[in-house]
Amino acid sequence: MVDTFYAIGLVMRVCQSISLLELLHIYIGIESNHLFPRFLQLTERVVILFGVITSQEEIQEKYVVCVLFIFWNLLDMVRYTYSMLSVIGISYAVLTWLSQTLWMPIYPLCVLAEAFTIYQSLPYFESFGANSTMLPLDISTCFPYVLKLYLLVLFIGSRAHVPSISERRYKLYLCCTLTINELLLLSVLFPDNRYHAPGRASTSRTWHKSDARG
């Protein structure tokens, strides 16, 4: 776990850089998603990965980095698979359910892990003065203060995902409804098959008996 960043750090940086193209996909309509919440989430990851973890070698050895990478990859694995299949018109009920519900417990844990990562990096930035710059008129900008301010933005930005709960519930309800309708349609088209709606099996057996008597 300590060597997580040294093992997959380069891959994570490349993948997060490529994920910025998702904003373009949303803008031109390839992916049906809200632009502003995705922009906030991608900004969070870029700041944490490049501004905090990559710039401080001491943070790269923390266990929280491994936990954070697990949460990020778990969410992306489900979300990108669901989005890719949706674009080509393929839908699976289990994958839809995971896509619309898995983020509810995982995303708050991601925010807490990101906040804890920033909290652990503050002493190193304060002692080494890394990423601190001097502005004109002798106004100094210290990166630790920027990170402290960003902690507030991090929790406020996480609230942008709350309004989409009702939309996710609607998508989940729609998927479940379509699945039930497909099963009912199969039970009607193939009454002798194993796809039986409730009450169809007894009706089918009664029909066969009356037909045999006739």
Annotated catalytic residues are 107, 114
Per-residue tokens: 75: 């969410």
Q: Which residue stretches of 129-199 are H helix?
A: 143-158, 165-189
Residues in CB range of 156: below 8 A, 6 or more apart: none
State how far the Cα of 27 lies from the Cα of 34, in Å rounded to an integer: 9
State how far the Cα of 165 lies from the Cα of 67, in Å rounded to an integer: 25
Q: Which residue stretches of 190-213 are H helix?
A: 200-213
- Tell me how many degrees the CA angle 12-159-95 measures, rounded to the nearest 5: 55
